[in-house]
Amino acid sequence: MTDKAERMRRKFDKLVHEPNHILCMPVAPDSLAARIAEKEGFECINSAGYATNASNLACPDRGFADFGIMLNKCREIVNAVDIPVFTDSDTGYGDAANIKRTVRSFEAIGATGLFIEDQTWPKRCGHMANKSVVSTDEMVYRLKAALSARKHRNFLIMARTDARAVYDLDEAIRRAKVYRQTGADMVFIEAPQSVDELKKIAAAFPDTPVLANMLEGGKTPIVSIEDLRKMGFSLTAHPTALTYGQAYADKEIIDDLLKHGSTKDTQDRMITFTKFNEFVGLDRVNERENMYKPDQMEKKIAQWQTEGAF
């Protein structure tokens, strides 16, 4: 894991800081979605709370997925792909000692970085009503704990603020600037409410990687990746697209099966048996199985003996 983790951290760091480039991160609700995103050409995956609450617990993003569930989901995704995985650490899951444990744990499993936010716990999805945030000083305390815990400087830490909904955009920008001055590598102002607000956020941080969060049906208008790049954003996350897509497909297939008693009429809306096996790597599994069959091992041993390997 160490070699892979270092390679992924370096790659993520490079992608985030590449001039005039925007890194698009779909949030994967599970390892299969992450693998498909990788196979289809995405450079990075995001593991995050909204999708994890839904996929693991069938619950809303209201803090039900605790530290253990979030860590294990990220670990599963890291193990399934060979591209960087950036993760969500909510509020850090406790005091300074717990925040340090959070950072070290995500770093140890091979994540390339994480974001930590200034909401109170239990947190809510950034586009839900009735959020509350801690003081700026409390968030600075969280950030200092997180920054001091990481072992690798290229394990990037993003500061997220939800102050736009609680106060206003100016306060959210003010907080994000304080968090950046504290040492956060990147910033994320959640739930701006217009294109003009997105532009104002990007303009406020000309020398800092800033994330735009594109949530279908949320408070922020959906803007194309290219337009976000032109505004000056360095990263964009899509926290609900794959989760909503999976839920839609599940409902369509289940409704049709209940109605007709067969999937005969819905197979054209499914991935094929062959393509699915390609995504999950059946060929590689079969190849490894054949490699270690007794007759193949006997040939290998004979070869090693001839070459003086032992």
CATH number of residue 52's parent domain: 3.20.20.60
User: Does 138 lie in the same domain as 56?
Assistant: yes
Amino acid type, 19: P
User: Does 269 lie in the same domain as 184?
Assistant: no
User: Does 252 lie in the same domain as 230?
Assistant: no
User: Does 253 lie in the same domain as 204?
Assistant: no
Walk along the chain (310 residues) and give the pLDDT tens digit of each residue: 579 999 999 999 999 999 999 999 999 999 999 999 999 999 999 999 999 999 999 999 999 999 999 999 999 999 999 999 999 999 999 999 999 999 999 999 999 999 999 999 999 999 999 999 999 999 999 999 999 999 999 999 999 999 999 999 999 999 999 999 999 999 999 999 999 999 999 999 999 999 999 999 999 999 999 999 999 999 999 999 999 999 999 999 999 999 999 998 888 889 999 998 999 988 988 888 787 777 776 677 677 667 765 5
User: Does 213 lie in the same domain as 256?
Assistant: no
User: Does 257 lie in the same domain as 233?
Assistant: no
Determine the 3-state secondary structure of 51 from DSSP.
Answer: helix
User: Does 153 lie in the same domain as 77?
Assistant: yes
Residue among 183, 170, 191, 189 at smallest CA distance from 140 = 183
Domain boundary pick from 197, 218, 239: 239
Domain boundary pick from 239, 263, 287: 239
Cβ-Cβ contacts under 8 Å for 134 (sequence gap 6 or more): 118, 119, 120, 142
User: Does 252 lie in the same domain as 229?
Assistant: no
User: Does 96 lie in the same domain as 31?
Assistant: yes
Domain boundary pick from 193, 219, 239: 239
Give the domain range for residue 107. Answer: 2-239
Give the burial class of 233: count Cβ atoms within 10 A of its Cβ; 0-12 exposed, 13-18 middle, 19 or more buried.
Answer: buried
User: Does 234 lie in the same domain as 102?
Assistant: yes
- Asked if 192 and 220 touch (Cβ cutoff 8 Å), the reply is yes
Would the pTM count as exceeding 0.75? yes
Residue among 13, 74, 8, 48 at smallest CA distance from 238 = 48
Amino acid type, 148: S
DSSP string, 183-210: T-SEEEE----SHHHHHHHHHH-TTS-E
User: Does 265 lie in the same domain as 145?
Assistant: no
Give the HSE-up count for residue 12: Cα atoms under 13 Å, Cβ half-sphere: 30
Instruction: Please give the structure tokens belonging to residue 58.
Output: 């069938």
User: Does 148 lie in the same domain as 84?
Assistant: yes
Domains identified in the chain, total number: 2
Distances (CA, A) of 140 to 91, 102, 148, 264: 12, 16, 12, 57
